[in-house]
Amino acid sequence: MAQKGNNRHLASPKMTPDEKATSSTSKPVALTVKVDDDTYIRLCTLGATQRRTNQDILRQALHDYLERMAR
């Protein structure tokens, strides 16, 4: 039996990872992050004050982190 999401990153071997990350036709992959209660409350409060979703905040934070680490 295939695992959930198994080999999704290999769906299009002609595309580089960077091309797949920016492709408008690629499907998002679900990612679960477990955080403590305080971090969750802080995230929700920030989202409410900035009118942004938790996903939007975390996606931007992860993107910024990966950009910094790639240098």
Asked, for residue 51, whether it belongs to a domain, the answer is yes
Residue that wins the pLDDT comparison between 9 and 54: 54
Residue 4 within a domain: no
Residue 69: which domain range? Answer: 30-71
Residue 19, phi then psi, degrees to nearest 5: -65, -40
Dihedrals φ, ψ of 49, to 5°? Answer: -70, -30
In a 10 Å sphere around its CB, with 0-12 CB exposed, 13-18 middle and 19+ buried, how is residue 36 labelled? exposed
Label residue 69 by pLDDT band (50, 70, 90): very high
Residues in the chain: 71
Q: Total structural domains in the chain?
A: 1
- Tell me the pLDDT tens digit for each residue of 38-51: 999 999 999 999 99
Tell me the one-letter amino acid at 31. Answer: L
- What is the band of 25 on the pLDDT scale with cuts at 50, 70, 90? confident
pTM attached to this predicted model: 0.62
